[in-house]
Structure 1
Amino acid sequence: MNITVVGSINLDLVATAPSLPAAGETVTGATLARHPGGKGANQALAAEKLGAEVDLIGRVGNDAMADEALALMEEFGVDLSKVEVDVAAPTGVALIAVDPHGENQIVVAAGANHLVTPEQLPARIECPLIVQLELPLETVEAAVGRAVGFVCANLAPAQPVSEAMLRRCDLIVVNEIEAEFYGDALHRGGGRVVVTQGARGAEMYHRGVKTAWATPPEVVAIDATGAGDAFVGAIVVAMLDGMEPKEALEFACAAGALAATRAGAQPSLPTRDEVEALLAR
């Protein structure tokens, strides 16, 4: 199974604190960690660890942060030959605060991610494609338009996209807040729409009709960062593997649940054996 991901690459700076700050509040007593991240990179590594052969199209800066941001993908075999180095812009950085229950707040400085242009894309994208919305929208829509096969769009962070893009996607993945932002427009195409609901699981729709749903296995969550990206990588792998909708949702929910049991985005991503073991428990 070959998958192309067009998406963001970041270095995550994660502060684990006793509580998340309210507006204007300072919270002390945190511990700091650095992890590779970015929705595109996370989803690429998630799919790779679940059994796909993945190539990533993206951009990093000419700095030491790029080495950290790419390290785990290099270790697990994601093809990074189409990741370009920008000499002017820095590698993207996400500033993440996490509380003891795994809830988080995230602020992203996009850096080189915002300089990924349609010119960096191939004329045709032959493999199944995964995109998100952390790159310039023009580039994301160009990638979808050049894809000749299966397309999954994780419409996060939510922003207006074209009707043509929504209709082209075979699979759209959003959380509840994003689903509310897009409303009925999500369901006008012929593809599947999955709405994730955190610890309550996920639902799949086809033309506005709910066709399947699943809840994740019980786990002790410590950091939800990356759980949604684990879900996206897993649901794409499951659907390309030919799983039925409910089975695919269960597989993806288990992957997301496992990711929430570990700190960091990419370090938390599970292998296929781990997901299958959790489902069999």
Structure 2
Amino acid sequence: MNSSRVIVVGSANQDYLVRTPRSPRPGETTIATSLAKQPGGKGANQAVAAARLGADVHFVGAVGRDDDGARILRSLQTDGVSIDDVSIIDSQPTGLALIMVDDAGENSITVVSGANSTVTADRASRAVRRLAQPGAILSLQGELSVAVLEASVRAAADTGLRVLINLAPFTSIASDVVALADPLVLNEGEAAEMTGLAVADRAGADAALEALRSRARSVVITLGPEGAIWATSDATGHAPAEATDEVVDTTGAGDAFTGAMASAIARGSSLADAVSLGTRAGSFAIHGLGAQSSYARAADLGI
């Protein structure tokens, strides 16, 4: 039985996007050209990206009992994401991300966890077990605690769920948890941190991929404008990104990639096809400002 169910255990933040001609140097003040507020958080981003491509998405996380939290929940529901497993917390405000985007579309991000820090390993693992069904996939990122990530993965393994682990931002997790990743998804910087190798070009990325393929069931390394490379125990491949002359904002492009991959895997696609769809979704996302607001729907990608 193939399922389109994607279970996302992850963060939900209110993004504050500041546009500036260039990033300030240490001690320097720059004048921003605009400020926008949008829903974000790596977990919520990936949930929306998967849902917009037709997946049955269930989000497990937490927001504060405040206007930002209410706005995030409304946005998730509008995109068809189930919020039955999102806790509303009185003791912490909704998480937020301060995002600076320069004229080249590059960004720098600072995250304040807020309510995300209240998600416990016990609650997350119980939700995973309850939501599990044949053919579904669990998707996780690095913005919640290591304890939550590891407990969720082990619960998924107990129930036969396939697991996608996106270690963004990078955090060290137990080797037996890494071994369950199918796939483990990293960008170049995260792959460098995990392997200790220099990943400054395609050759470095290929070396990191080779070093990681024995540590997880499958591995994907994203390469920005060069697309992504992937490996299983017996095959490797490269999915090029679509060429583009205009980059508006790279914020959330990696989440668009990962959410699209999860939706494809849940539909029964091969890893190669899932990575290909991910690169198309990521390429689409960089043409819009912000994360979720820039994500593709099925019709945008011709699926």
Fold-level similarity (TM above 0.5): yes
The alignment partner of 1:47 has SS state of: helix
Listed one character per residue, the Cα deviations across residues 119-148 of structure 1 (whole Å, up to 9, x for unaligned) are 322532514100011111101110001012
State the 4+ residue runs in structure 1 displaced beyond 6 angstroms: none
> What displacement does 1:254 show?
0.8
Alignment TM-score, normalising by the size of structure 1: 0.93
SS at match of 2:179: helix
Deviations 1:165-219 (A, max 9, x none): 1011111110000001111673334511000011111000224x76110111123
Shift of 1:27: 1.4
Equivalences for residues 82-161 of structure 1 within 5 A: 82-123=85-126, 124=129, 125-126=131-132, 127-147=136-156, 148-161=160-173
Q: Distance in 2 between matches of 1:139 and 1:168?
A: 15
Cα pair 1:202 1:214 within 8 Å, conserved = yes
In 2, distance between residues paired with 1:216 and 1:165? 30
Which residue of 2 is the match for residue 206 of structure 1? 232
Identity %: 38
Q: Is the 8 A contact 2:140 2:165 kept in 1?
A: yes
5+ long unaligned stretches in structure 2: 196-207
Instruction: Find the aligned partners of 1:29 and 1:38 in 2 and give their Cα distance.
Output: 22
- Contact 2:6/2:266 (8 A) holds in 1: no
What residue identity is the alignment partner of 1:168?
A: L
The residue aligned with 1:50 is 53
| 2:216 aligned with 1:216 | no
Instruction: Establish whether residue 27 from structure 1 lines up as the match of residue 59 from structure 2.
Output: no
Structure 1 CA distance for aligned equivalents of residues 212 and 168 of structure 2: 13
**2:137 is matched by which residue type in structure 1?**
P
In 2, Cα distance between equivalents of 1:24 and 1:205: 43
Secondary structure in 2 aligned to 1:106? Answer: strand
After superposition, the C-alpha distances for 1:79-100 in whole angstroms (9 at most, x for unaligned) are 0010001111110000000012
SS, match of residue 36 in structure 1: strand
What do residues 36-80 of structure 1 show as CA deviations (whole Å, max 9, x unaligned)?
A: 000000000100001101010001111111122223211111000
User: With structure 2 as the length reference, what TM-score do the two structures score?
Assistant: 0.87
Q: For residues 119 and 236 of structure 1, what CA distance do their matches in structure 2 show? A: 24
Tell me the amino acid that sits aligned with residue 38 of structure 2: H
Query: CA deviation digits over 1:1-29, x for unaligned, max 9?
Result: 11110000000000011111222222113
Q: Give the counterpart letter for 1:217 in structure 2.
A: E
Q: Is this contact kept in 2: 1:17–1:100, CA < 8 A?
A: yes
Q: Secondary structure at the match of 2:302?
A: helix
Alignment match, 1:66: 69
3-state secondary structure, aligned to 2:272: helix
How far, CA to CA, are the matches of 1:5 and 1:64 in structure 2? 23
Query: How many residue pairs were aligned?
Result: 276
Structure 1, unaligned runs of 5 or more? none
